[in-house]
Structure formats: C-alpha cells, structure tokens
C-alpha cells in the first residue's frame, strides 16, 4: 500500500481542538464534583469519547493521505523504444466501400492490433486526433490493456472536435506528440503510426517537421482512403450527401510522412510491421515493471470513521 498525498495525514491534527475542549470540560466537572462531594463516573466510561474522537481523526487523516493498493508485474521488453498508434476519429473515418463493409476506423483498429502483435517486445501507446491530439494510453507492454483501450475508448468523435466546421481533422496538432512528453524521457527510438484518411484543414508541414525533430519522432502514415468510399447513415444505410472523398488527401499524407522522416503505407499489415521494425531496429531487452490496476482505499477509510463518530453522538445524547 502506498500514499499519494502523505502530507494530507496532517488533517488528523485538527483533533487537538475537540480534545482540548473535552479536557476543559473534564476539569470543570472534576472541580464541581469536588465541591459538591460527588463521585465521578468510572474513568473507563469518561474516556470513551476522547478515544473515539482520536480514532475519527486517525481515519480521516489516513483517508486524506489517499492510500492506494497497486497491482503491478514485470515484463521483458525494449526500454529504448516506444510506439504510439494515433487514430483520426473525425467523422470522415466512417466512410467505407459499401454498406456492409468495415469503415476506415474499424480497418485502422484491425491493423493496429496486428502491428501490436507483430512488434510484441516494444511498449505501445494509443492516441486520437480530431482538431487536437489526446493520449488514451501511455506506452505499455500489456497487449490486453492495449486492445481494451482500442475497443472501449477509441470511437468516432470521442471526444468531439472543439470547432463546428465540417472538416474537423487538423494535423497541425500532431506536433504535440514531439513536444509534450508523450514518450518516456529516456526513450531514444520513437515511432508514431498515424491511421487517417488524409482529409485535413490547412497545416504547416515545416512547423510539424520542427516539432517532430525536437522530439526525435519518426512517422509512419497509414492512408485509409478510397475514391469510392461513402458514409452510410443509420440502419437504413442512406448515403450521406454531404460527404465527398478528398482527392487531394494523398498530398497531405505525403507532407506529414516527409515531415516525420517516414513513409506512407497502404492497408498491408505485413508492410506496416516490417516498416515499424525497420525504424525501431534492434535494442537491449530489460525487465520493465508496469502498474496494472490501482484501487483507492480513501473512501472506504473515510466511511470507517462513521463508526466511532456514531459512538460520540450516541454518548452526547445519553
């Protein structure tokens, strides 16, 4: 068990005030009893309340220190390399070749899982993109966690773009991958695999290159796009008349890949795995300890304080 906020335990010192007040009342009762020649109740019965107050303070102090129980395990993998898979989750990723075919995002997820299994010894992280980049999972060696994030967290417009324009994707924010500490500080080989259709607002690829170079990030761009793909609406599968595939998307894709010193790939999982391994090369393997789950005990400890507090209230009303 560990404490996230150890200094929070100082909250327990607040018990000094009620204990001091109780001590003054005890002295006053003793003086009155001496003058009236009365016998005080047994010491054991008189000290139940201050002990209960101290226990309440102890429980609240422990709760304020935020105790947690963590489950972690060690796995063997590359400590010098990390890969991020980034999914364009704008609405255009709903496009598909037919009403019964998988859409672009579904195809991207399938490719990402195959890539993860093909490069099993390197930690993988997950991020999404609309008009901003959002990390969903920091690099981990655990394939089960990786796949659960893809399944449960990655979806169209989750989160939605901040603007209201029809074209939501903005590649300008991709530079955040290189400048905002997405990768571990000691990681030398950093790969970003972008899954997108290439349909974006205007962006400055020279500025992107500067950000990628600063973070030493190499980019592989998987272009999921087809000239005949359409967005099908609802169960009726009516075609969305407002969407048209952008024939200029390949130019945007090439500019981003060039800015990251990488390549543009199609939907071939074998080529994707091969190119990723080529960027990563070889490196040392070591035992990496990763946290799997963390349970906060603070709320339960705080609830336990209700027991001695109930005793204090009961004694006050007796």
pLDDT tens by residue, 60-73: 888 888 888 866 66
- What average pLDDT does range 234-254 have in this prediction? 89
- Residue 136: band (very low, low, confident or very high) from pLDDT cuts 50, 70, 90: very high
Please name the residue that has the structure tokens 């170079």: 213
Q: Closest Cα to residue 199, out of 273, 133, 131, 124?
A: 131
Is residue 196 pLDDT above 90, yes or no?
yes
Among 67-81, 142-156, 164-178, top mean pLDDT goes to: 142-156
Residues 296 and 62 sit within 8 Å (Cβ to Cβ) = no
Token code pair at residue 111: 């490719």
Token code pair at residue 47: 């000290």
- Residue 58: band (very low, low, confident or very high) from pLDDT cuts 50, 70, 90: confident
CA 107, distance to chain mean position in Å, is 23
- Residue 9: band (very low, low, confident or very high) from pLDDT cuts 50, 70, 90: confident
- Per residue in 115-131, is it b (16+ CB within 10 Å) or e — as a string? bbeebeebbbbbbbbbb
Distance CA 255, CA 205 (A): 6
Token code pair at residue 188: 């030398």
- What element of type H or E holds 51? helix 48-64
Among 129-143, 265-279, 287-301, where is mean pLDDT lowest?
287-301
> Which pLDDT score, from 0 to 100, does residue 38 have?
66
Cross-strand pairs, 133:
129
Reduce the DSSP state of residue 153 to 3 states and report it. Answer: coil
Reduce the DSSP state of residue 90 to 3 states and report it. Answer: coil
- Residue 251: band (very low, low, confident or very high) from pLDDT cuts 50, 70, 90: very high
Whole-number mean pLDDT of the chain?
87
Is residue 164 pLDDT above 70, yes or no?
no
Distance CA 313, CA 318 (A): 9
> Which pLDDT score, from 0 to 100, does residue 40 have?
63
Residues 100-131 pLDDT 10s: 899 999 999 999 999 999 999 999 999 999 98
Distance CA 82, CA 125 (A): 8
- Residue 265: band (very low, low, confident or very high) from pLDDT cuts 50, 70, 90: very high
- Order of strands across the sheet that contains 285-296: 2-3, 67-78, 285-296
- Residue 316: band (very low, low, confident or very high) from pLDDT cuts 50, 70, 90: low
Is residue 276 pLDDT above 60, yes or no?
yes
Per CATH, the homologous superfamily of domain 80-283 is von Willebrand factor, type A domain (3.40.50.410)
Is residue 39 pLDDT above 70, yes or no?
no
> Which pLDDT score, from 0 to 100, does residue 292 have?
59
């Amino acid at each position: 068990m560990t404490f996230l906020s150890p200094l929070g335990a100082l909250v327990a010192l607040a018990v000094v005030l009620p204990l001091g007040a109780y001590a003054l009342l005890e002295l006053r009762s003793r003086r009155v009893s001496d003058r009236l020649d009365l016998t005080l109740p047994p010491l054991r019965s008189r000290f139940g309340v201050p002990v209960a107050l101290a226990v309440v303070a102890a429980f609240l102090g422990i709760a304020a220190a935020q105790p947690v129980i963590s489950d972690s395990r060690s796995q063997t993998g590359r400590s010098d390399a990390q890969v991020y898979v980034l999914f364009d989750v704008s609405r255009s990723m709903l496009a598909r070749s037919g009403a019964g075919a998988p859409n672009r995002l579904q195809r991207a997820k399938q490719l990402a899982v195959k890539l993860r299994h093909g490069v099993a010894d390197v930690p993988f992280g997950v991020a999404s993109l609309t008009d901003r980049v959002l990390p969903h999972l920091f690099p981990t060696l655990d394939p089960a966690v990786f796949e659960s994030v893809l399944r449960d967290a990655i979806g169209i417009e989750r989160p939605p773009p901040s603007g209201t324009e029809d074209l939501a994707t903005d590649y300008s924010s991709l530079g955040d991958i290189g400048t905002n500490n997405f990768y571990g500080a000691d990681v030398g080989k950093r790969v970003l695999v972008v899954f997108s259709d290439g349909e974006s607002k205007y962006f400055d690829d020279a500025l992107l290159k500067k950000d990628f170079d600063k973070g030493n990030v190499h980019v592989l761009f998987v272009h999921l796009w087809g000239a005949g793909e359409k967005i099908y609406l609802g169960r009726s599968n009516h075609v969305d008349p407002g969407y048209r595939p952008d024939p200029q998307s390949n130019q945007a894709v090439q500019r981003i890949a060039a800015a990251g010193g990488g390549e543009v790939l199609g939907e071939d999982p074998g080529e994707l795995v091969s190119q990723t391994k080529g960027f990563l090369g070889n490196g040392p393997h070591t035992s990496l300890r990763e946290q799997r789950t963390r349970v906060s005990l603070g709320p339960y400890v705080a609830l336990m304080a209700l027991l001695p507090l109930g005793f204090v209230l009961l004694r006050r009303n007796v």
